[in-house]
Structure 1
Amino acid sequence: MNVLIAAALIVIGFVFLVKGADLFVDNASGIAKKLGVSPVVIGLTIVAFGTSMPELAVSVTAALQGSNEIAVGNVVGSNIFNLLVVAGASACLYPLICDRVLLKRDWPLSAVAAILLGIFLLGDQTISRLEALVLLVIFAVVLFLQLKGAKQEENIHPEERSMGRLVLFLLIGIAAIVIGGQVTVEGATSLARILGLSETLIGLTIVAVGTSLPELVTSVVAARKGENDIAMGNVIGSNLFNILCILGVSALLHPIHVEVTALYDTAFLVVVTVVYWLICRRRSPDRLIGTAMILTDIGYMAYIILR
């Protein structure tokens, strides 16, 4: 397979991922409206899970194919991109007001999840099936807490589409995401092999940014519409889902072993998660903080490319 074919597969895969995620989010949100779920819960759960479906498809496929560095690099890289670029770009366009529960519960939980991942990798650079089960159990508890805090609200803009139509297009979206994930992994691993690049680098850059496009589009659009709960809920919810559920499922199917550089990337994720959480507790994310977030990501991207 030559470079052009590999690059074409990545582009085609991303198209399927983005369009599939768009269908998923649109119809999942419609179902949520019919059920009367509050915006912050929609952001933390349905929208976050929907926009993270590309990461799930890519990481699970990569794990099954033995491309472990892409599975972990994709998740860690996506989380860094979500927090620094997705939240940063949203804040640059429209000052964000973080939900109190998100700041007190969900954002700290995302830091704990990253720390736990680092602990699992610290010993033997492997996520075992037992550790995968721990991640999935914690995910179930977090999801329970999020849904327990859901408020039923009267929707002033009722969903007019039928439940049957919503479910049908939701399933079409999922199918497109799964196909896109398989095509993207094939193209990315081939490109890495042709260019002599490590799978960790490909996972942290090309694949991570590509699979985070749904989060970027969703949060920026939500910020422009003033839907702060959905914008930030999407970022934090996606980061929780990525580590606890995606890596949990991936490692349960096939234990994941990574290079030592994955520890450095995880440590960086922990640091930026904690630092920007402390900053946003004192000051709502505005253009200044958003710009700092984006510049932090650019600096780290330069580092991982040059290392």
Structure 2
Amino acid sequence: MLLSWLAVAAGLTLLVFAADRFIFGSAGLARSLGVSPLVIGMVIVGFGTSAPEMAVSALAAVQGNPGISIGNAIGSNLANTALILGFCALLRPVLVKHTVLKIELPMVLGVSVAVWLMCVDGALTYRDGAVLALGLVGFLGWMLISAQRGEAPIEIEGELPPAIPTVQAVIWIVVGLVLLIASSQLLIWGAVNIARAFGVSDLVVGLTVVAIGTSLPELAASVAGLLKGEDDIALGNILGSNLFNLLAILQAPAWLAPGPLPEGVLYRDLPMMIAITLAVLVFAWSARGRAPRINRVEGGILMVAYVGYTAYLIHTSPITG
């Protein structure tokens, strides 16, 4: 058991490093090739923090562990919205721009509901993967067009990596990809062993241990943005990651391991994700006479809800394979 936990810890640590190196190489190469800084910042750097989720979900689906793959995507959204945003609000109330309140938050809620409706038939299929792919393309297009107009729909934290020689960039890209695959394999091996030892399903481990671990980059970026007084960055990282998890990460099981959803996803996990997102929207709207915000009490509610949900998962979920 100790070896399995060490594998999970090592896998998560390597995932973060691998994602950073992959982003560094990709962004450096793009800058050297003259790609627009806007495209680099919004697409490569902006979504680079989701590279761990993508790597883990794809590898888990290929290896016949769709529960980890699906649980990782949904669980990461729950961790982002309830745990990370709740923790940030406890540190300091998180201000919410009116544009975020009227556009981005409803968009995340709408996509969440759409994913639930897509899964009502009880399965993820190739057709669902195609729908998600179209949604991702539309989302990226909307982001870039809006940013070009100066509207900056999702603000991303951090300076762009510098332009670097092509050979150096390619080396870092390859190193990042290799480490992403290796660390994902290590994490999945440890997670599956832990699931079997505790008598819970792969889905539950994906929703909890794996999801929390792969959300660490979002936690770091959001807390750093909040401490700098840049609430847009703190919230922007969470919203951007949530949309990417739904539209991109869920494609992995849809394309690579299509089939029935694990028990509990449709009537427990997806509704919980929708409820938490709706709660954040209601909290922000209910700021009476003040700028929309998530205050400390509401942050505490989000964290308590996450802890309660996680405890319920662990105590009620049977082995499913």
Distance 1:47 1:36, change over 3 A: closer
Residue aligned with 2:294, SS: coil
For 1:160 and 1:209, locate their aligned partners in 2 and report how far apart those are by CA, in whole Å: 26
- Residue 137 of structure 1 is matched in structure 2 by 134
**AA partner of residue 207 (structure 1):** V
- Residue 18 of structure 2 is matched in structure 1 by 20
In the alignment, which of 280, 283, 292 is matched to residue 284 of structure 2? 280
Distance 1:295 1:14, change over 3 A: same
Q: Does 1:290 align with 2:299?
A: yes
Distance 1:151 1:92, change over 3 A: farther
Distance 1:27 1:151, change over 3 A: farther
For 2:160 and 2:48, locate their aligned partners in 1 and report how far apart those are by CA, in whole Å: 18
Residue aligned with 1:122, SS: coil
Alignment of 1:154-165 (within 5 A): 161-164=162-165
Residue aligned with 2:238, SS: helix
- Residue 83 of structure 1 is matched in structure 2 by 81
Following superposition, the deviation at residue 48 of structure 1 comes to: 4.6
- Residue 271 of structure 2 is matched in structure 1 by 267
In the alignment, which of 208, 214, 235 is matched to residue 211 of structure 1? 214
Tell me the matched-pair count. Answer: 297
Following superposition, the deviation at residue 90 of structure 1 comes to: 1.9
More helix by share: 1
Identity of aligned residues (%): 32
Deviations 1:101-124 (A, max 9, x none): 33322222221222122223221x
In the alignment, which of 3, 6, 12 is matched to residue 5 of structure 1? 3
Deviations 1:123-178 (A, max 9, x none): 1x21000111001101110110011111488xxx9868334367764654444333
Deviations 1:223-263 (A, max 9, x none): 11122222111101111111111112331122143223111
- Residue 239 of structure 1 is matched in structure 2 by 242
**AA partner of residue 294 (structure 1):** M
Deviations 1:175-205 (A, max 9, x none): 4333222211121112222333211211111
For 1:177 and 1:99, locate their aligned partners in 2 and report how far apart those are by CA, in whole Å: 35
* 1:129/1:254 contact within 8 Å kept: no
Provide structure 1 residue ranges, at least 5 long, that are not aligned to the other structure: none
* 2:200/2:314 contact within 8 Å kept: no
- Give the TM-score of the pair, scaled to structure 1: 0.86
**AA partner of residue 109 (structure 1):** M
Distance 1:256 1:114, change over 3 A: farther
CA RMSD of superposed structures (Å): 2.8
Q: Does 1:257 align with 2:255?
A: no
Residues 205-214 or 288-297, more deviating: 288-297
**AA partner of residue 268 (structure 1):** M
